[in-house]
């Protein structure tokens, strides 16, 4: 089943609790939470206290995307804050397999993310270990960027590997997804679709979600 995973990085932080509740009222089951440290990516975003606070507001799946260096240091804290899925970047951890298994030891799902310039072949041996592969279709760190076309080929590569080695794999795409590009990523094989500005723009969450779903 295809699931839309709105990124709250694009939400109005002055009323974040309301925005999160609005997502749930509009049938959203997964919320994408971007965590940035200012080192791995040139930006800083929300952290553990914010995740804890919105956890009280919803039962949606918390899909926590760690764009941080040495993520293993903080895994337990993010689990305690309410994460259901924790994704680390292949490029940000020297011991990816160990960290993936550490995440799973807490009973939450583990994901691995690839930047646009990182080949899918680098994670072939992890496909049957991880629960999710996240293909970055923009360079991470900022919202509102345009979809990188070759990302679709990478999604197809992951789908081929999933069909061979892990049929339950979640294939997520993040970056530049809107009503004009969502059909392409779905047809390529993605089943978790992250969208930020395309969901929250203009304050019309309901209308934007409807437009995205119609575009699939």
Mean pLDDT of 145-152: 93
Give Cα separations from 154 to 13, 51, 97, 134, 187 (angstroms): 33, 30, 21, 10, 12
From the list 34, 63, 93, 131, the catalytic residue is 34
pLDDT digits (tens, 9 = 90+) for 171-185: 999 999 999 999 999
pLDDT at 162 over 80: yes
What percentage of the chain has pLDDT greater than the value 70? 99
From the list 37, 93, 131, 174, the catalytic residue is 174
Residue 71 confidence class, pLDDT cut points 50, 70, 90: very high
* Fold exhibited by the domain 3-215: TIM Barrel (3.20.20)
User: Residue 147 in contact with residue 176, Cβ under 8 Å?
Assistant: yes
User: Residue 32 in contact with residue 5, Cβ under 8 Å?
Assistant: yes
Report the run of H or E that residue 52 belongs to, with start and end.
helix 48-55
pLDDT at 136 over 80: yes
Q: How far apart are CA 44 and CA 118, in angstroms?
A: 22
pLDDT at 32 over 90: yes
Q: Domain-by-domain residue ranges, the chain?
A: 3-215
Q: Is 174 a catalytic residue?
A: yes
Average pLDDT over the chain, rounded to an integer? 94
pLDDT at 143 over 70: no
List the single range of 37-46, 61-70, 173-182 with lowest mean pLDDT. Answer: 37-46
Q: Is 37 a catalytic residue?
A: no
Residues composing the chain = 216
pTM over 0.85: yes
């Amino acid at each position: 089943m295809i699931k839309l995973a709105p990124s709250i990085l694009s939400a109005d932080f002055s009323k974040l609790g309301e925005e999160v509740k609005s997502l749930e009222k509009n049938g959203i089951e997964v919320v994408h939470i971007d965590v940035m440290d200012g080192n791995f990516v040139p930006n800083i975003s929300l952290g553990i206290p914010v995740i804890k606070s919105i956890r009280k507001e919803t039962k949606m799946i918390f899909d926590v995307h760690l764009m941080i260096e040495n993520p293993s240091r903080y895994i337990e804290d993010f689990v305690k804050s309410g994460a259901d899925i924790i994704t680390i970047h292949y490029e940000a951890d020297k011991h990816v397999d160990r960290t993936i298994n550490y995440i799973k030891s807490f009973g939450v799902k583990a994901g691995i993310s690839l930047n646009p310039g990182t080949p899918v072949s680098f994670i072939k041996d992890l496909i049957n270990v991880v629960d999710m592969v996240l293909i970055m279709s923009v360079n991470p760190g900022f919202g509102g960027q345009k979809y990188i076309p070759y990302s679709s080929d990478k999604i197809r590569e992951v789908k081929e590997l999933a069909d061979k080695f892990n049929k339950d794999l979640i294939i997520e795409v993040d970056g530049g997804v809107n009503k004009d590009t969502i059909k392409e990523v779905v047809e390529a094989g993605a089943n978790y679709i992250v969208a930020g500005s395309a969901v929250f723009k203009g304050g019309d969450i309901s209308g934007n979600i409807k437009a995205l779903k119609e575009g699939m």
